[in-house]
Structures are given as structure tokens and as C-alpha cells.
């Protein structure tokens, strides 16, 4: 009882930050299974599509991702992200809590890559631009031989709502930035992130 009460007082925010750090470390230890993968798991359990999960569904999602928290820890997360006070966790608010602001070096590389394809400065790029520039030669799954270039490119493009949702072949700068903000959580080192961007998009 006292532990429960401590989580709902001033200590709740501190505890939530500790739990989010554990989740981020778990993400970093799972190459290719970042926030986007966690979001896919959440959406599978969001039966009515309202962007919320009840406590049992939330626990099942975390378990599927390899995370096992105590009941009181789950209660702290749900309480913190229950923005409507209905006993359910808001998925977007929770995922936002996992995202860190990009460092200046990372943000610079993200926009440099986008600018290579946004030749007209419209703030939008086409899937065909990505196909022309995306270099898969250093991609882990390509090196292992588990996926072809086309399969890797398809996975990348399916990450963007503009392509997957509308089938319009367009990626906006907002979608682009959000994708790399999510991916950034999986990459603890600035140097590695910069190297990854340079090799993927042939940035000199």
C-alpha cells in the first residue's frame, strides 16, 4: 500500500522516468526492434482503435516486447499516461515519453539526407527518390543475406504513413523527422548515428 501511494505522489514522475529508461535500454539491445516495432505491437492489441489500452492489454504488449514489470510499476505508468482519467493508457503520450530530442549532430544529418531528395524544396519526397539514393550495402540484414535490397527498401517505406496509409508514394518532412526521432532511441552513440546516415544516404 505504501509503495503504491509513493508512486502516485511526487515520486511517480521519478519512477516513470526510471521505467522509461529501462524500456529505452531494452530497445537499444534489440537492433531493428525500436519504437516503431513497439508501436506495431500496441496497435495489434488496440482492438477498438481508440489509441488506448487497458492495464491487461498494456502488460501483454510490454511482455511481447520482452519487458516484465511489477504490477505497481505498471500502475505507475498507466496512472502517469492516463490523460483522460479513464484507467487506460494513451499510446501516443506513452510513445512520446520514450522519444528524446535529437542532438544537433543527429538532426543535422537527418535534414541533410532529406535535402538530397527534396530538390524542389517542397518539404516532400517521393518513394522513387528513396529507391535511387538508399544504399543498403551496410544494412545488417543485407549483409547477413536475410533480406534483399527490395525487401529492405519496402520495409523502410512502409514505416511512413504517407506511403503505407495513402499509397501516394509521398514522405513529408514531418514523417521523415518523426521516423528518425524514433530510430534515434535505438542508437546510443552520436558517432554511430552519423556514420549510419552517411553510409545509407551517401552523405559526404
94 and 118 co-located in one domain: no
Listed as ranges, residues in the chain with pLDDT below 70 are 1-11, 31-33, 161-168
Predicted structure pTM score: 0.80
The CATH number assigned to the domain holding 166 equals: 1.10.238.10
Q: What is the pLDDT of residue 9?
A: 53
Give per-residue pLDDT as tens, 12-38.
788 899 999 999 998 888 766 688 888
169 and 108 co-located in one domain: yes
41 and 127 co-located in one domain: no
114 and 187 co-located in one domain: yes
Q: What is the pLDDT of residue 31?
A: 66
Between the CA of residue 185 and those of 21, 89, 109, 123, 189, what are the distances in Å? Answer: 10, 21, 15, 24, 10
Helix, strand, coil abundance in the chain, percent, nearest 5: 65, 5, 30
Query: If DSSP states are collapsed to H, E and C, what string results for 47-113?
Result: CCCCCEECHHHHHHHHHHCCCCCCHHHHHHHHHHHCCCCCCCEEHHHHHHHHCCCCCHHHHHHHHHH
113 and 50 co-located in one domain: no
> Using CA atoms, how far apart are residues 24 and 67, in angstroms rounded to an integer?
11
108 and 197 co-located in one domain: yes
Domain count, the chain: 2
Q: What is the pLDDT of residue 11?
A: 67
Task: Look up the domain containing 40 and give its range.
Answer: 2-98
Give per-residue pLDDT as tens, 85-106.
899 998 888 988 899 899 999 9
Q: Among 63, 98, 133, which residue terminates a domain?
A: 98
Q: Among 36, 63, 98, which residue terminates a domain?
A: 98
Q: Among 98, 132, 155, which residue terminates a domain?
A: 98
Amino acid at each position: 500500500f505504501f509503495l503504491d501511494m509513493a508512486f502516485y505522489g511526487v515520486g511517480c514522475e521519478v519512477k516513470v522516468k526510471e521505467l522509461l529508461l529501462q524500456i529505452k535500454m531494452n530497445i537499444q539491445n534489440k537492433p531493428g526492434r525500436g519504437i516503431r516495432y513497439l508501436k506495431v505491437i500496441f496497435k495489434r492489441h488496440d482492438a477498438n482503435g481508440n489509441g488506448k489500452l487497458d492495464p491487461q492489454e498494456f502488460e501483454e504488449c510490454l511482455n511481447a516486447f520482452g519487458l516484465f514489470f511489477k504490477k505497481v510499476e505498471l500502475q505507475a505508468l498507466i496512472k502517469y499516461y492516463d490523460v483522460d482519467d479513464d484507467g487506460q493508457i494513451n499510446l501516443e503520450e506513452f510513445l512520446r515519453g520514450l522519444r528524446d530530442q535529437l542532438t544537433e549532430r543527429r538532426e543535422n544529418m537527418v535534414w541533410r539526407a532529406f535535402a538530397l531528395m527534396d530538390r524542389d524544396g517542397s518539404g516532400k519526397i517521393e518513394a522513387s527518390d528513396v529507391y535511387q539514393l538508399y544504399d543498403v550495402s551496410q544494412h545488417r540484414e543485407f549483409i547477413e543475406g536475410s533480406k534483399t535490397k527490395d525487401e529492405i527498401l519496402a520495409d523502410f517505406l512502409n514505416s511512413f504513413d504517407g506511403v503505407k496509409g495513402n499509397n501516394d508514394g509521398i514522405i513529408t518532412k514531418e514523417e521523415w523527422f518523426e521516423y528518425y526521432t524514433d530510430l534515434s532511441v535505438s542508437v546510443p552513440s552520436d558517432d554511430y548515428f552519423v556514420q549510419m546516415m552517411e553510409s545509407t544516404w551517401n552523405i559526404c
